[in-house]
A and B are shown apart, each in its own frame.
Chain A
Amino acid sequence: DIQMTQSPSSLSASEGDRVTITCRASQDIANFVAWYQQRPGKVPELLIYAASTLHSGVPSRFSGSGSGTDFTLTISSLQPEDVATYYCQRYKSAPLTFGGGTRVEIK
């Protein structure tokens, strides 16, 4: 099965900083990657699909890039409401594996 490896597992940044999270697939998965945000105590929410398409209602400070095996989620200017754990997921075919998650905190 294809594995999804996220890094870092956690990070702390200042408000307004640019934050980058990476996700690496163990095989080529084209652009079939989604990113989710899970705020503390909340249900996950879809941020990005098809590696770079922003889901409806998601702030434009979020962006995604990549194809093949290497993918990136970027927050251009970190806001307090972005404190959350972020997950990547491959979704072209089952198993729809998630990455291990990246916990983002504000310094």
Chain B
Amino acid sequence: VQLVESGGGLVQPGGSLTLSCAASGFSFRNSAMSWVRQAPGKGLEWISLSIGNGYTTYYADSVKGRFLISRDNTNSAVYLEMGGLRVEDSAVYYCTKGLGYGYAIEYWGQGTQVTVSS
């Protein structure tokens, strides 16, 4: 199993960024995919979940209305479109895969750093 994130970087407050995660080594279309972030020196924060065909999605209150998760089951990829970025969104963002058909996290990518600063 491999999860490879890309798209992180430095962005100004109010800006946008799209993260990508290329997945391989498992049945992608049957897996729940989540994004989890971790601010420097802080704990883990689940932020979004995409299930199956991608029409069922969930968000943490902290990002609802600003972030959009999507997936491409043909190309085994999941995306996180981030808008209205705030300084407090600065974190390492991990792409993760659910265990079996469930939502416990079995695999984590290496993470991509997002820094929101002027």
Q: State whether the Cβ of B60 lies closer than 8 Å to any Cβ in chain A.
A: yes
Minimum C-beta distance from B11 to chain A (A): 23
**Chain B residues whose CB sits within 8 angstroms of the CB of A1 once the complex forms:** 61
Number of A-B contacts (CB under 8 A): 62
Nearest to A100 among chain B residues (CB) is B43
**Chain A residues whose CB sits within 8 angstroms of the CB of B45 once the complex forms:** 98
Let me know if B58 and A36 touch, CB within 8 A. Answer: no
Let me know if A46 and B99 touch, CB within 8 A. Answer: yes
Nearest to A92 among chain B residues (CB) is B103
**Chain A residues whose CB sits within 8 angstroms of the CB of B59 once the complex forms:** 94
Choose the segment among B13-21, B23-31, B81-89, B104-112 that binds chain A (4+ C-beta atoms closer than 8 Å): B104-112
Let me know if B108 and A43 touch, CB within 8 A. Answer: yes
Of B46, B94, B102, B111, the residue contacting A95 (CB under 8 A) is B46
**Chain A residues whose CB sits within 8 angstroms of the CB of B103 once the complex forms:** 91-94, 96
Let me know if B111 and A43 touch, CB within 8 A. Answer: yes
Chain A interface residue number, banded: 20 to 34
Of A34, A43, A94, A95, the residue contacting B104 (CB under 8 A) is A34
Q: State whether the Cβ of A7 lies closer than 8 Å to any Cβ in chain B.
A: no
Let me know if B43 and A96 touch, CB within 8 A. Answer: no
Let me know if B34 and A96 touch, CB within 8 A. Answer: yes
Let me know if B104 and A89 touch, CB within 8 A. Answer: yes
Let me know if A91 and B58 touch, CB within 8 A. Answer: no
Chain B 37-64: CB-based contact to A (< 8 A → 1; otherwise 0): 0000001111001000000001111000
Q: State whether the Cβ of A44 lies closer than 8 Å to any Cβ in chain B.
A: yes
Compute how far the CA of A63 lies from the CA of B98 in the bound complex, rounded to whole angstroms: 21
Q: State whether the Cβ of A49 lies closer than 8 Å to any Cβ in chain B.
A: yes
